[in-house]
A and B are shown apart, each in its own frame.
Chain A
């Protein structure tokens, strides 16, 4: 069946450095790729998303890139800050299974002061 692989499972970066999280999907019909941030004890919240007709999207320090040919997409966080520490989930869904959203296994990001 369809799946989404996410790497790495844990990531530790120095404050101020960049962090990159990568996801690979299997369903070639997928057309929507959201990223969620979940802080400890809190609910997941959407931080950025990208659709299949776009290759890159930026929102301040956060950017997402999509390579449809290779079926992978990545989250980039620049100038990391302590409040960026959280678990990040990627997900994919598409017209072939609009209601079937598949999440990656999550990346625990820690920012070292």
Chain B
């Protein structure tokens, strides 16, 4: 599947590093999402963007900083992370926000970035 891509696929970083995750969707969708998936909380919504505007910040610590320069690209900037931030970070997109439209809110997920914080 190439509709939603994420890079890198794996990332190991120290607690003092700064890194960025990238998500790109080639589906012409208007909404994009960041999720954190870990063993303790399987699928946790972090941020939502609709037409480049952030519509949801699910009480995410400021060491995670999202950026959405256009409807096709979404970044997650990481700074001074903690070991408990190690998880799979999934990006998703949908034509419209989920629950708003009757036909265009299916979310398509990227393959994820497996992040390990040492």
Contacts and interface: CB of A to CB of B under 8 A. Distances in A.
B111 A98 contact: no
Contacts of B66: none
Nearest to B4: A43
**B1, B107, B110 pick with most chain A CB within 10 angstroms:** B107
B45 A101 contact: yes
Interface in A33-47: 34, 42-46
A99 B90 CA distance: 16
Given A98-B97, A98-B98, A99-B55, A45 B45 contact: no
B109 A99 contact: no
A89 B37 CA distance: 12
Interface string A79-111: 000000001010101110011111101100000
Main SS of the interface on chain B? loop
Nearest to B92: A44
Nearest to B90: A43
Contacts of A43: 1, 90, 109-112
B109 A44 contact: yes
Interface string A16-60: 000000000000001110100000001111100101000000000
Contact of B98 (A42, A45, A87, A99): A99
B67 interface: no
Contact of B99 (A32, A44, A106): A32
Main SS of the interface on chain A? strand
Contacts, number: 63
A102 B109 CA distance: 15
A100 B58 CA distance: 8
A103 B43 contact: yes
B38 to A, nearest CB: 11
A44 B90 contact: yes
Contact of B50 (A87, A99, A106): A99
Contacts of B99: 30-32, 93-95, 98, 101
Given A98-B99, A101-B33, A101-B45, 7 more contacts: A32-B105, A42-B111, A43-B90, A95-B100, A98-B97, A99-B55, A105-B42
